[in-house]
Structure 1
Amino acid sequence: MRFEHRDTEADASIVDRVWRTVSDTSDTMTSAARTSCQLILTRTRGHLRAIVRGPETAATTAPVPPDAEFLGIRFALGAVLRPHPAASIVDGHATLPVTGSNRIVIGGEDWEAPTYENAEHFVRRLQGAGLLARSQLPGSGHPETHRSRRTLQRRYRATTGLSQVAVTQIDRANAAATMLRDGLDWRAAVATLGYFDQAHLAHALRRYVGHTARGLGAAGDAAMSFLYKTGPEPGS
């Protein structure tokens, strides 16, 4: 599977990437943990399926059906497609109803399914309807009492579905995987990203990315699949 992707031209505080791919044959895909939600559309033989996939705390391997087209809109951290807050779908997903004419039902209203080319327009329409918004993440960096720090941590988890520590670890592992995929040595990843040593990096890659450092370097462009998730097949 080859992925085409671009940074979105929509409000970067809401959405940070749009991607698409097509599967030729039945296959499996290993993809990395992610800190944010995604809207994922799957078209198989004229049938449309839509899901909101939540943050994921570990790498997973999922079956990919043949002759399927995938479109993904990856939200920014803290963005939510109502009424599916991130905390309610961590390591899971919510299925969105689809009408007989392949329109997606969101917020009780049916919407024309977006395409790769008009994803930004679709995002703006959802924002205008109040169905897509980004919550203000609890800040840090100010002197806080023990109680207020715990309150901020609870608010952060309620907003994102994850702890700040988990977000940092997942983002760091994905950054390391990208560096290795691009041909940098593991030593550069360790030094740049603050891992203790090679073993520490290897543990993070196994848990959050599902690839070894050697595997990422050897896979080249094929390893791009770890950056994105398509979602489970119907009935899974």
Structure 2
Amino acid sequence: MFLTFEDRPSDSTFVERVWRAHTIDGGVFHSIAESNLELVVTRLPGLTRVTLRGPVTKPSMADCPANGQWIAIRFRVGTYLPRIPTALLLDHNSLDLPVTADDRFWFEDAAWEIPTFENAEVFVQRLARHGAVGRDPAVGAAILGDRQALSRRSIQRHFLHTIGMTHTQLRQIERERFAVDLLRSGSSILDVVSDAGYFDQAHLTRSLQRLTGQTPMKILRKEAQLSFLYKTIQPPTAMID
């Protein structure tokens, strides 16, 4: 695999995980569906880029250049940008933020030091104090099965505003990522069907092809480089169709 990842979990209210990656040789990888907002720092020879990435609802192929370094802050589901609707960033409609010569970038009318792998939480806390990121507690509660006396329509409005997709789409993506992790850890296809809550093998295959572009067998054999993955836990019952 030409793309090497390292990641760590976060105890921040806003941040789920921080990851970094690097390449020596370039290549093409499979970008799979994911449900999180990210702020990504890209460093290539002669180029630094800071990008806001939205959730992704379908797979695609992506070129990955050689000699690259990336650091990303993956926000928790339910974290949002008050002045930028998440739906505008959906499916690779990413936003590149202006970068200055002194290694800062402009966001929300302020110049910020580019965060590092080590200080990501401190950086995000500063964003929160500035009002540049927020949390929607109704989304987090709904994921855990607590609807907080909200109607189904109201919950959907919260999801569409905060993460740019419906609760059902989120459930499907989270289950798909859990299934991919199981397969790449060596679980059999039939065990994954049972453990991830699919009806049968055909249901698993359709879901993974729609959201990763790969069959379960190809994922099990690790035939292709996939986008960033990490060890996940089984989604709560409320997350399963």
Name the TM tier (shorter chain).
Answer: 0.7 to 0.9
What is the Cα deviation at residue 134 of structure 1? Answer: 1.3
- In 1, the alpha carbon distance for the partners of 2:206 and 2:165 equals 20
Q: Which amino acid aligns with 1:225?
A: S
8 A contact 2:26–2:64 mirrored in 1: yes
Query: Residue 85 of structure 1: CA displacement?
Result: 2.7
Q: CA deviation at 1:66?
A: 1.4
CA distance change for structure 1 residues 136 and 144 in 2, over 3 Å: closer, same or farther?
closer
Question: Deviation at 1:188?
Answer: 1.2
Q: Distance in 1 between matches of 2:163 and 2:147?
A: 21
The aligned counterpart of 2:238 is none
Give the equivalent residue in structure 1 for 2:100. Answer: 99
Paired residues of 1:18 and 1:74 also in contact (CA < 8 A): yes
**Matched residues in 2 for 1:154 and 1:120: separation?**
28
Aligned to 1:204: 207
Q: Distance in 2 between matches of 1:73 and 1:58?
A: 21
Q: Distance in 1 between matches of 2:110 and 2:128?
A: 14
1:184 paired with 2:187, answer yes
8 Å CA contact 2:71–2:116 kept in 1: the answer is: yes
Structure 1 pair 44/197, CA: closer, same or farther in 2 (3 Å)? same
State the shift of 1:203 in Å. Answer: 1.1
Q: Please give the per-residue CA displacement for 1:28-51, whole angstroms capped at 9, x wherever unaligned.
A: 111221111100110111421011
Note the residue ranges of structure 2 that are not aligned, 5 or more in a row: 231-241
Contact 1:87-1:161 at 8 Å conserved across structures? yes
Say whether residues 1:7 and 2:9 are aligned partners.
yes
Q: 1:150 aligns with which of 142, 153, 163?
A: 153
The alpha-carbon deviation at position 160 of structure 1 amounts to: 1.6
Task: Kindly provide the amino acid, as one letter, of the partner of residue 100 in structure 2.
Answer: T
Which residue pairs with 1:162 in the alignment?
A: 165
Question: What is the aligned-residue identity percentage?
Answer: 36
Q: Kindly indicate whether residue 106 of structure 2 is the aligned counterpart of residue 116 of structure 1.
A: no
**1:102 CA displacement:** 2.3
Alignment equivalent of 1:216, drawn from 215, 219, 228:
219
- Kindly indicate whether the alpha-carbon contact (under 8 Å) linking 1:24 and 1:67 is maintained by their aligned counterparts in 2: yes
Distance 1:172 1:63 in 2: 26
Residues 30 and 226, structure 1, Cα contact 8 Å, conserved in 2: no
Task: Compare 194-203 and 125-134 and name the one that shifted more.
Answer: 125-134
Residue pair 1:24, 1:68 contacting (<8 A) in 2 also: yes
User: Structure 2 CA distance, aligned partners of 1:77 and 1:143?
Assistant: 17
Alpha-carbon distance in 1 for matches of 2:149, 2:128: 34
Aligned CA-pair RMSD: 2.2
Alignment deviations for residues 78-123 of structure 1 (CA, whole Å, 9 cap, x no partner)? 2123432312211121111111222111111111101112212212
Indicate whether 1:194 and 2:197 are aligned.
yes
Unaligned runs of 5+ in 1: 229-236
Q: Following TM superposition, by how much is the alpha carbon of 1:16 offset from its aligned partner in structure 2, in angstroms?
A: 0.6
CA offsets, 1:136-180, max 9 Å, x none?
A: 3354656979xx432332232122211011000000000000001
Greater mean deviation of Cα atoms: 207-216 or 102-111: 207-216
Find the aligned partners of 2:120 and 2:146 in 1 and give their Cα distance: 35
Distance 1:48 1:68 in 2: 10
Aligned to 1:232: none
Moved over 4 A (4+): 138-145
